[in-house]
Structure 1
Amino acid sequence: MEFFVEMVTTVPDGTSPDAVTDMREREAARSAQLAHEGSLRRLWRPPLAHGEWRSWGIFSADDADALERVLASMPLRAWRQDTVTPLTSHPNDPGLGRP
């Protein structure tokens, strides 16, 4: 299954810049692993307001429980709120490879 996930991150007040940098580095490393494994398919950054952290992603997982395990494995999840939308195929999807 594929899932669209909106991820909104709120850094806790008082978090040091070094802690933010460390968290971002760990998140980047885990995201690369998930992409290599095929769980993280695409990732976008929509237009952001000043100081806002928000991303959109397409994830693949066997089901919602498997997706939750993937999302929980991401370091930023400690500071993040995720909104998950399961996706189903559309009959007019040009990605289906019809001529």
Structure 2
Amino acid sequence: MEFLVDMVTTVPEGTSKEAVEEIRTREAVRSAELAAQGSLARLWRPPHAPGEWRTWGLFSADDAEQLEQVLVSMPLRVWRRDTVTPLSPHPNDPGH
């Protein structure tokens, strides 16, 4: 199954720049691992509010439970709110 995940990250006030950079570096490494495993297909930057980071991700997983395991494994999840939308094929999809 494919899932569109709207990931909104809000860094807690008072968090040091070093801590932010460290977790962002770990997030980049984990995202690359998930892409290599076939769990993460794409990432986009949609509009976001001041003081937050927002990313849309296209993920593949057997089911919602497996997707949750993937999302929990991402370091930024500690500061993130995820909204998951399961996707199903459209009969008029030009890519298929």
State whether TM-score is above 0.5. yes
- State the TM-score, normalizing by the size of structure 1: 0.94
Q: How many residues align?
A: 96
CA RMSD of aligned residues (A): 0.8
- State the TM-score, normalizing by the size of structure 2: 0.97
CA shift, 1:34, in A, is 0.2
Larger radius of gyration: 1
Give the SS at the match of 2:95.
helix
| Residue aligning to 1:51 | 51
- Rounded to whole Å, the distance in 2 between the matches of 1:8 and 1:49 is 10
For residues 6-85 of structure 1, the aligned pairs below 5 Å read 6-85=6-85
CA shift, 1:50, in A, is 3.3
Flag structure 1 segments of 5+ consecutive residues without an equivalent. none
CA shift, 1:95, in A, is 1.0
- Rounded to whole Å, the distance in 2 between the matches of 1:49 and 1:6 is 14
Q: Which runs of 4+ in 1 moved over 6 A?
A: none
Flag structure 2 segments of 5+ consecutive residues without an equivalent. none
Which is further off, 41-50 or 5-14? Answer: 41-50
Give the SS at the match of 1:56.
strand
Q: What amino acid does structure 2 have at the position aligned with 1:2?
A: E
CA shift, 1:13, in A, is 1.1
| Residue aligning to 1:4 | 4
Which is further off, 1-10 or 45-54? Answer: 45-54
Give the SS at the match of 1:6.
strand
Give the SS at the match of 1:95.
coil
